[in-house]
Structure 1
Amino acid sequence: MGLISKLVGHARAMTMEEFDNEVLSRFRGGHAAGMQVDEERALKLVTVFSCVRVLAETIATLPLDVFKERPGGGKDKARGHPVYELLHNRPNPEMTSATWRETKTGHLALSGNTYSIITFNRRGEPLEIYPVDWHLIFPQRNPITDALEYVYNDRGKAEIFQPDRVLHVPGWGFDGIRGYSPIRMAASTMGVGLATQEFTERFYSQGMNIGGVLEHPNALSDPAYNRLVEWLEEKGSGMANSWKPLILEEGMKYSRIPMPLAEAQFIETQKFTRDEICGLFRVPPHMIANLERATFSNIEHQSIEFVMYTLMPYITKYEQAMNWKLFTPEERAQGYYVKFNVDGLLRGDYKSRQEGLAIQRQNGVINADDWRGLEEMNPIEDGSGQIYLVNGNMIPPGTAGNQKGGE
């Protein structure tokens, strides 16, 4: 565990012991409700897993393209740019763009940070983008230059990367560099959820009996006591032995200690924890199969709000980080940028969508080919789909006065 030989500038090398201590201090988590709480354990809660899955899979399936602005206005897809292939199709030889984005969003939602290492070719173009486990890398200040750098545990060896090599998307945090882990900030809620889940497992694994008391008029001998304990452990507990008769000897009596789940407000605790976790991730309950408060009239608006208030912060952070790290200043000046397309999520029902497009068509905002393209249809072959039309009654105000006077 000596000093790491690979340094950047005059930065002091970090020993593996220091790195491990830093990682463990962040990965160890904390305790709440008598339970160990960290990101890995929190995923065992079905609500946490479902919320993270909704976020990760939705971001992964959104169209992601590279565009270049036209000098006179408008934009075109920059399919020939190297970044287009990385983001739209395959960021590295081992995964698709959807898999990469799904992994990154899962890290961001759970830990508050997501990291990817960027490899450039000799021309300075991004060649590969690999996601890195959030607990294997962390930002720090160079002890000499005070510049930001990233320390990465690469198979037991601490390696230092400069910021231009790391695509880091942080969540909310006080310093603006490293985001807070939602799981750790809500450790109390997670602890209650894990404790409730463990209680349920024990309740059913022990034969749905909360407990009881065996009463005997006299003290049992050691052989009798040991035999009774052994019998209870082997034959008196577990689902297979539920409701089997209990054989008691020498005047022994059994008194059950009831603890109905209703008295412990068990169901209410589960619901409360589920709602708090949904609030933590800002995922509408109906998206994780909780339809208690969902109605036909509000479920569509909840879905639109999910895009506006839940996905847009993720999307904006991704776009700004990619534009910053994947394009040179010259390319950004030329108008290259990355853009997610969320139109499909904001479409609404088919009838409402067609009515909205019809209004745009009648007002000359879109032509027939634009409309067909939004519906995944090919342009009209004779070119007539490029014509813009407006309603006949919509004329400039001055024209209306001239027409009236000429009548």
Structure 2
Amino acid sequence: MMRFPFIRRAEKAPAVAPVPEARDAALPTMVQSNPALVSFLGMMDGATSEPVTIDSALGLTPIWSAVNFLSRTLASLPVKVYERQADGGRKAVSGHPLAALLNGAANDETTAFAWRQSAWGDTFTAGRQVSWIERNGRGDPLNLWPLEVAKVTLQSAGGRLTYFYRDGSPRGKTYRAADILDLAFMPGATRLTARGPIASNAKTVALALAVTKYGAKFFDQGGIPPFTISGPMRTADGAGRASADLTQAVAKLANEGGHALALPDGHTLNPLGFDPEKMQMVEVKRLLVEEFARIYQMPPAFLQDLSHGTFSNVEQQDLQLVKHVLSPWVKAWEAEANLKLFGRAAGPLYLETSLDAILRGDLLSRSDALSKRIASGQMTPNEAREMDNRPALAGGDVLFMQGAMAPVAALAQGETQPKGNPDE
């Protein structure tokens, strides 16, 4: 006789609560997000029993793709230091120490790209990233050191914000807010709290994990869906033995790669529930890709979902990415960096992130736009060359304009140039 394979419910992972530290009760504090925070808050209890952590969420390809794309793209954007001019213009400051700090090396051990990528990665997963600004005796930034966000506690006393870091020493370290670069996915009004995309959408993540786990289990069993067996089983013990034997036979079939399962006469197998095709698991996964695109506000094309993509709408999604996704994050980072690196009463110097590198993809459109700006007197040739990382040329700092234009009234009288000396 054979047995019917039963399906075990996924066991709940025990919630892990961080050990509270001794603190002044008058100080409101918040321990920053860590992989056990979702379980600690009870967010894993939902439609499924899948425990949600940052590591498990990154095992989902849409989240992995979104986090890597955003963090790498934002980390690759060049940061420039500008000086405001008296006439309202600005001038790029070449060789400024901060430009080297943000584009070259954040410290003696970490490149600027690696530091910025990890900062954005923490922001798009844990919901927050903090880095300590090491300064010299004059207060100028020397190095940027990332702090492990799970070991940071924000405190507010007397209206001033401080960051307590458990660095392993008995007393830890406390940093002024002015010496911390703090980038939060969705900060609270007092900045003591911050919401991350994974913790805030734990149920959606758990659903995606459950679907992935179901598919893995299904194919791990050789693609055989759960089923029932019916036949001449007159006692409960007989039914139990049949179920045990059938479970063993199915496991052996899956391990050996066989395709045929022999049944005793008079016995039949019937599917229990629906197989993955009838459950439309493919459609569920596609829907979840769209859900994660909404969470990160990314166009679906950048999560490799071209199910509704056309040539024209994918091009528009490219523009949407720059305008409505990357640009707001760039502005948030610039505001924090300018405040903490130059101070509130900053002088003429400020930082700005260049998005030109992203817009270089369409060479024909970019070249046409630069040509029109030069021909209309909006940009000098050297300014256009600088945007393409080309060296300046002699005579390229002069504005040019097409000379064939004339007033309409002058054209009606057969004249091509306005009367009078233009220099008078």
What TM-score results when the alignment is normalised by the length of structure 1?
A: 0.83
Please say if residues 185 and 197 of structure 2, whose CA atoms lie closer than 8 Å, have aligned partners that are also in contact.
no
Please say if residues 304 and 345 of structure 1, whose CA atoms lie closer than 8 Å, have aligned partners that are also in contact.
no
In 2, Cα distance between equivalents of 1:66 and 1:179:
29
- Which segment drifts farther, 301-310 or 78-87? 78-87
Question: Which residue number corresponds to residue 287 of structure 2?
Answer: 272
| Aligned residues: CA RMSD | 3.4
- Aligned-pair CA distance for 1:340: 0.4
In 1, Cα distance between equivalents of 2:32 and 2:378:
58
Secondary structure of 2:318's counterpart equals helix
- Which segment drifts farther, 121-130 or 148-157? 148-157
- Which segment drifts farther, 32-41 or 95-104? 32-41
For residues 69 and 223 of structure 1, do their structure 2 counterparts lie closer, same or farther at Cα, with a shift above 3 Å needed?
closer
User: Identity over aligned residues, as a percent?
Assistant: 23
User: Counterparts in 2 of 1:353-372, with a 5 A limit?
Assistant: 353-372=366-385
Secondary structure of 1:343's counterpart equals coil
Question: Which residue number corresponds to residue 165 of structure 2?
Answer: 152
Match of 2:267 among 219, 239, 253: 253
Match of 1:184 among 199, 202, 206: 199
- Aligned-pair CA distance for 1:216: 5.0
Question: Which residue number corresponds to residue 210 of structure 1?
Answer: 225
- Aligned-pair CA distance for 1:59: 0.2
For residues 86 and 398 of structure 1, do their structure 2 counterparts lie closer, same or farther at Cα, with a shift above 3 Å needed?
farther
Question: Which residue number corresponds to residue 307 of structure 2?
Answer: 292
Please say if residues 34 and 149 of structure 2, whose CA atoms lie closer than 8 Å, have aligned partners that are also in contact.
no
Please say if residues 149 and 160 of structure 1, whose CA atoms lie closer than 8 Å, have aligned partners that are also in contact.
yes
Partner AA of 2:350 in structure 1: Y
Partner AA of 1:161 in structure 2: Y
Partner AA of 2:401 in structure 1: V
- Aligned-pair CA distance for 1:81: 3.4
Partner AA of 2:151 in structure 1: L
Secondary structure of 1:54's counterpart equals helix
- Aligned-pair CA distance for 1:384: 2.7
Match of 1:161 among 175, 186, 191: 175
Question: Which residue number corresponds to residue 171 of structure 1?
Answer: 185
- Aligned-pair CA distance for 1:277: 0.5
Deviations 1:142-194 (A, max 9, x none): 3xx34211122213754322212211012224425132111122222111111
- Aligned-pair CA distance for 1:116: 0.8
User: Counterparts in 2 of 1:11-50, with a 5 A limit?
Assistant: 12=24, 25=37, 28=40, 30-31=43-44, 32-34=46-48, 35-50=50-65
- Which segment drifts farther, 31-40 or 76-85? 76-85
Consecutive unaligned residues of structure 2, counting only runs of 5 or more, are: 1-18
Please say if residues 186 and 194 of structure 2, whose CA atoms lie closer than 8 Å, have aligned partners that are also in contact.
yes
In 2, Cα distance between equivalents of 1:317 and 1:294:
30
- Aligned-pair CA distance for 1:368: 2.4
Question: Which residue number corresponds to residue 396 of structure 2?
Answer: 385
In 2, Cα distance between equivalents of 1:339 and 1:213:
65
The count of residues paired between Structure 1 and Structure 2 equals 388
In 1, Cα distance between equivalents of 2:20 and 2:312:
64
- Which segment drifts farther, 166-175 or 116-125? 166-175
Please say if residues 221 and 250 of structure 2, whose CA atoms lie closer than 8 Å, have aligned partners that are also in contact.
no
Question: Which residue number corresponds to residue 349 of structure 1?
Answer: 362
- Aligned-pair CA distance for 1:76: 3.1
Deviations 1:340-396 (A, max 9, x none): 00023234622222221121111112222223333333333xx23233221113467
Question: Which residue number corresponds to residue 118 of structure 2?
Answer: 103
Partner AA of 1:167 in structure 2: L
- Which segment drifts farther, 29-38 or 310-319? 29-38
Question: Which residue number corresponds to residue 374 of structure 1?
Answer: 387
> Which structure shows the bigger proportion of residues in helix conformation?
1
In 2, Cα distance between equivalents of 1:304 and 1:227:
59
Please say if residues 233 and 239 of structure 2, whose CA atoms lie closer than 8 Å, have aligned partners that are also in contact.
no
In 2, Cα distance between equivalents of 1:257 and 1:128:
63
